[in-house]
């Protein structure tokens, strides 16, 4: 099991999303060996790789680095999307999260084409 906070959280988020190291590597556009090195603490990611990992794991860089306690991505109060989101019912918020996840997957597929 990983020792440092980054390695531990990387491993836990990957498992929570039911991703293999190869699956995460594909999502983050990295080599599977890099994921292994990051999880064991053998290597540290560059900032660009860290952002790619956070995006692929649907979390924030701050969470992966131990600067935030929650893996949930939150919107800022000044963001229009946040203001609209706050007006929704719990059921509609879940629908909005599902729609955003769908759009993100679609955008990733389009980028890969």
Q: Given the structure tokens 């769908």, which residue do they identify?
A: 102
Each residue's pLDDT tens digit, 33-73: 999 999 999 999 999 999 999 989 989 898 999 988 888 77
- Residue 33 to residue 25: CA distance in whole angstroms: 8
- Residue 84 to residue 99: CA distance in whole angstroms: 14
Each residue's pLDDT tens digit, 78-88: 566 777 877 88
Query: For the packed helices 32-40 and 5-16, what is the interaxial angle rounded to 10 degrees?
Result: 130
Tokens of 98: 């599902």
Each residue's pLDDT tens digit, 79-113: 667 778 778 888 998 898 899 889 888 888 887 77
- CATH classification for the domain delimited by 5-64, as one of 1.10.730.10, 1.10.260.40, 1.10.287.130, 1.10.8.100: 1.10.260.40
- Residue 10 to residue 18: CA distance in whole angstroms: 12
Mapped onto helix, strand or coil, the DSSP state of residue 9 is: helix
**In the chain, what are the domain boundaries?**
5-64, 80-112
């Amino acid at each position: 099991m990983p020792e440092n906070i980054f390695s531990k959280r990387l491993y836990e988020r990957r498992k929570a999303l039911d991703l293999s190291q190869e699956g995460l590597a594909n999502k983050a556009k990295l080599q599977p060996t890099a994921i292994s090195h990051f999880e064991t603490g053998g290597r540290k990611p560059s900032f660009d790789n860290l952002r790619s990992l956070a995006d692929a794991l649907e979390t924030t860089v701050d969470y992966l680095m131990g600067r935030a306690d929650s893996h949930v991505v939150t919107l800022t109060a000044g963001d229009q999307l946040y203001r609209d989101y706050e007006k929704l019912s719990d059921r509609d918020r879940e629908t909005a999260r599902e729609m955003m996840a769908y759009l993100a997957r679609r955008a990733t597929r389009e980028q890969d084409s």
